[in-house]
Amino acid sequence: MTTQQIKYFLVLAKELHFWNTAEKMFISQSSLTRQIQALEDELGFSLFERNKRNVKLTDAGKFLQKHWTKTMGELDQIQRQAKKIDQGDAGYVSISYPGSITFSFLPNFLEIIKTNIPDLKLELAELTDENHQKLLLNYDTDIAFSRDNIQHTNIQTVKLSTEPICIAVPNNHWLDKNSINNIDKLQQENFIITGLHQTTFFSSLLRNLFNQLGFEPKISIESDFGGMILNLVSKGLGISILPNSFKHSNFNNVRFIDLDQTIDLYMHWRKNEANKTIEKVINSAKYMNTSIY
């Protein structure tokens, strides 16, 4: 049984006329008859009741007409989708990212992607303490945005931007650019930050920062999610240290004070990626570059 034989059957089931069907399918009537007969022989039952004047479907033929019409429609759709994937116009791409780009880079990036590749299906995963290298090599993600630079022979990396680290405080807080070096007062502040015991890149950055400041912070609340942290800062429950891109979150009652230290944003993907759709997504991110900050 071939898909072509099924197509012949479906047209004949609609036309109920061998000559008309043969003309539509661009084959001879005798060839059409042989194809239908071969299909019936393989199935082991008749699809049509026919005599010199009339052709009509058997009950089994009516059943197959209904289900094969749906199946062939789905097959055509799958083939069209495969062609789109081959051309880089559709498909499925999974993206992992840090929460710090949720309010700035990511929405603008997704807007460009959906404009240029409207049929693309995206899966987004905000990661906190994950190994991006492992996720990429295991095909658990296709594109990984992260703050650390992955160096692996099978992973391609590009740096997209550099931005300052900021202290986030409530609007009425005493801290400002002029008083930022008052270390004694900072030691008394309640910090709302990610756990310094963790092995993430940002935790390591914070540990180094506090070592440079010369004190261990008084941590009142630990959280890995920037949105939650800013919400707590806005309520006056403490201060935090976050990447500059969180300024785009537009939380009320939160000010950001830039520090001298900076943090980078990288994009990673598998080398020699065969999926042209992923290549288009990557090129869109490169095009945005630092303009989003």
What's the pLDDT tens digit per position in 80-122? Answer: 767 767 777 777 889 999 988 998 889 989 988 888 888 888 9
The dihedral region occupied by 236, where left means phi > 0, alpha psi between -120 and 50, and beta the remainder, is left
The CATH number linked to 115 is 3.40.190.10
**Once rounded to an integer, what is the mean pLDDT over residues 20-35?**
92
Q: What are the start-end ranges of the E strands in 127-254?
A: 143-146, 155-169, 190-193, 218-222, 240-243
Co-location of 168 and 256 in the same domain: yes
Sign (positive/negative) of CA torsion 148, 152, 157, 159? positive
Of 87, 103, 138, at which residue does a domain stop? Answer: 87
Number of structural domains found in the chain: 3
The CATH number linked to 62 is 1.10.10.10
Q: How many whole angstroms from its chain centre is CA 197?
A: 30
Q: Taking the complete model, does pTM exceed 0.75, yes or no?
A: no
Of 87, 102, 134, at which residue does a domain stop? Answer: 87
Question: Could you report the per-residue pLDDT of 120-177, keeping only the tens digit for each?
Answer: 889 999 887 668 888 898 888 899 999 989 999 999 999 999 999 999 999 999 988 8
Co-location of 17 and 154 in the same domain: no
Which domain does 19 fall in, by range?
3-87
Q: How many whole angstroms from its chain centre is CA 38?
A: 47
